[in-house]
Structure 1
Amino acid sequence: MAIQDPTKSSEETEKGQGSLFCLHHDKKLDECVQNVDISNGLAWSSDRKTMYYIDSLTYGVDAFDYNIKTGEIANRRQVIKVPQSDGIPDGMCIDTEDMLWVAIFD
């Protein structure tokens, strides 16, 4: 995760310091996404075929194809772009109607 100096803006934070990992039942650890700034949200569609992910300083929500049997993710694409003037995506959940709810900081 990016370490933000409280005296600097989010745009000045040194980026790409983190990774997103998958921890399997057998305790095997796989690095799935590199160059992560601030991981701040995971949610899955009700059919478990799509995983949603927030890396806050990208100002968006990405979707991945998700394989529930292997934990593998593929086909990353941005599905929501948040204008920087609106704030920073800071977590999310999905409801029973598969509607994605995204918390916005600041």
Structure 2
Amino acid sequence: MIRFAAFALSMSLSAAAFAADEPKPAPKPEPPKPAPKADEKKPVDPEVAFKRMDSDKDSKLTLEEFKGKKKGDALAKAETRFKKLDKDSDGKVTLEEFKAGQGKPKKKA
């Protein structure tokens, strides 16, 4: 009887040890975030955009810097926009003029 009790005790301890060694289920991975649609543009900080265009780093944009590599219709729009941004008509757009011309973001319907 003592042997049976000892055997039963050892089996219960073995079972407890075995249960403790069971691997825990792996956490479920988060579903991937949807990619932005092609027509959705992430807003760019005006200061960052200005610094990218200011190729000579003089803190003023010339028409040539503002136009960049635009062609065709985009080039004509850039020239028109530059004239609107250049409030003092000195042929250069400062960061303040650039920021003032950004306006409020358009709401999507």
TM range (shorter): under 0.3
Higher-helix-fraction structure:
2
Which protein shows a greater Rg?
2
TM-score (norm. length: structure 1) = 0.26
Higher-strand-fraction structure:
1
